Amino acid sequence: MTGFATLFRKELVRFWKVAFQTILAPVVTALLYLLIFSHVLEENVRVYEGVRYTQFLVPGLVMMSVLQNAFANSSSSLIQSKVTGNIVFVLLAPLSHLEFFGAYVAGAMVRGLVVGSGVLAVTLPFVGVHFAHPLWIVAFALAGSAILGALGVVAGIWADKFDQLAAFQNFVIVPFTFLAGVFYSIHSLPPFWQAASHANPFFYMIDGFRYGFYGRSDIDPAASLAVVGVFLVALSALALALLRAGYKLRT
Amino acid sequence: MTAAISVSGVAKRFGDVQALEGIDLEVRAGEFFALLGPNGAGKTTLISILAGLARADRGAARVLGHDVVADYRRARRLLGVVPQELVFDPFFTVRETLRFQSGYFGIAANDAWIDELMANLDLTAKADANMRSLSGGMKRRVLVAQALVHRPPVIILDEPTAGVDVELRQGLWRFMRRLNAEGHTIVLTTHYLEEAESLCSRVAMLKAGRIVALDATERLLARFHELALAVRVSGAPVPPALGARARGGADGRLTFRLAGYDEVEPILAGLRGAGCRIEAIELAEPDLEDVFVRIMSGARPEAAQ
Ligand SMILES: Nc1ncnc2c1ncn2[C@@H]1O[C@H](COP(=O)(O)OP(=O)(O)OP(=O)(O)O)[C@@H](O)[C@H]1O
Ligand SMILES: [Mg+2]
CA–CA dist A90, B28 (Å, integer): 27
Residue whose Cα lies nearest atom 6 of ligand 1: it is: B14
Residue whose Cα lies nearest atom 3 of ligand 1: it is: B14
pLDDT tens per residue, range A31-51:
998 888 887 777 677 777 778
Q: Which pLDDT does position B305 carry in this prediction?
A: 36
Question: Which atom of ligand 1 is nearest to B159's Cα?
Answer: 27
Residue B72 sits at the chain A interface (C-beta within 8 Å): yes
CA–CA dist A52, A214 (Å, integer): 11
Residue whose Cα lies nearest atom 17 of ligand 1: it is: B44
Task: Please indicate whether, in this complex, the C-beta atoms of B73 and A96 are within 8 angstroms of each other.
Answer: yes
* Minimal-distance CA residue of chain B relative to A85: B87
Q: What is the pTM of this model?
A: 0.87
Which runs of E-coded beta strand occur in A152-241?
none
- Cβ neighbours of B17 in A, within 8 Å: none
Ligand 1 pocket, B301 CB below 6 A?
no
Ligand 1 pocket, B229 CB below 6 A?
no
Ligand 1 pocket, B156 CB below 6 A?
no
- On the question of pLDDT at B113 being above 60, the answer is yes
State the architecture of B226-285 in CATH terms: 2-Layer Sandwich (3.30)
Under the banding of pLDDT at 50, 70 and 90, the label for residue B300 is: low
For an interface test with B, the pick among A10, A98, A244 (most B C-beta atoms closer than 10 Å) comes out as A10
- Mean pLDDT is lowest, of A157-161, B165-169, B298-302, for B298-302
Domain B5-221 has CATH 3.40.50.300: yes
pLDDT average, residue stretch B147-157: 97
> Nearest-CA neighbor of B151 among B114, B96, B200?
B114
Distance from CA of B266 to the nearest CA of A (A): 57
Q: Which of A13, A81, A251 sits opposite B54 (nearest CB)?
A: A251
Better-scored residue on pLDDT, B35 or B245: B35
Residue whose Cα lies nearest atom 19 of ligand 1: it is: B40
pLDDT tens per residue, range B25-35:
999 999 999 99
Q: Which of B74, B87, B103 sits opposite A85 (nearest CB)?
A: B87
Contact B292, B189 (CB under 8 A): no
- Number of Cβ pairs closer than 8 Å across A and B? 79
- Cβ neighbours of A90 in B, within 8 Å: 104
pLDDT tens per residue, range B252-263:
788 888 877 788
- On the question of pLDDT at B147 being above 80, the answer is yes
- On the question of pLDDT at B301 being above 70, the answer is no
- Cβ neighbours of A14 in B, within 8 Å: 91
Contact B211, B23 (CB under 8 A): yes
pLDDT average, residue stretch A154-178: 93
> Nearest-CA neighbor of A210 among A102, A63, A98?
A63
- Give the torsion through C-alpha atoms of B65, B70, B75, B77, to 10 deg: -140
Contact A50, A204 (CB under 8 A): no
Q: Where are the domains of chain A?
A: 2-39+51-245
* Minimal-distance CA residue of chain B relative to A89: B101
- Cβ neighbours of A85 in B, within 8 Å: 85, 87
Mean of pLDDT over chain B: 90
Under the banding of pLDDT at 50, 70 and 90, the label for residue B249 is: low
Residue whose Cα lies nearest atom 22 of ligand 1: it is: B44
Task: Please indicate whether, in this complex, the C-beta atoms of B100 and A86 are within 8 angstroms of each other.
Answer: no
pLDDT average, residue stretch B231-250: 82
pLDDT tens per residue, range A178-230:
888 888 888 778 888 888 888 899 999 999 999 999 998 888 999 999 999 99
Q: Which of A2, A91, A250 sits opposite B103 (nearest CB)?
A: A2
* Minimal-distance CA residue of chain A relative to B88: A86
Better-scored residue on pLDDT, B242 or A117: A117
CA–CA dist A208, A202 (Å, integer): 10
Q: Where are the domains of chain B?
A: 5-221, 226-285
- Cβ neighbours of B14 in A, within 8 Å: 251
Q: Which residues of B12-41 are buried (b: 16+ CB within 10 A; e: fewer)?
A: beeeeebbbbebebbbeebbbbbbbbeeeb
Residue B78 sits at the chain A interface (C-beta within 8 Å): no
Q: Which pLDDT does position B163 carry in this prediction?
A: 78
- Cβ neighbours of A15 in B, within 8 Å: none
Residue B40 sits at the chain A interface (C-beta within 8 Å): no
Handedness of CA B191, B192, B194, B196 (dihedral sign): negative
CA–CA dist A123, A31 (Å, integer): 8
Among B43, B49, B193, the mutation site with the greatest number of ligand 1 atoms within 8 A of its Cβ is B43
Where do runs of H (alpha helix) occur along A124-190? Answer: 134-158, 162-168, 174-178
Q: Which pLDDT does position B250 carry in this prediction?
A: 61
Question: Which atom of ligand 1 is nearest to B12's Cα?
Answer: 12
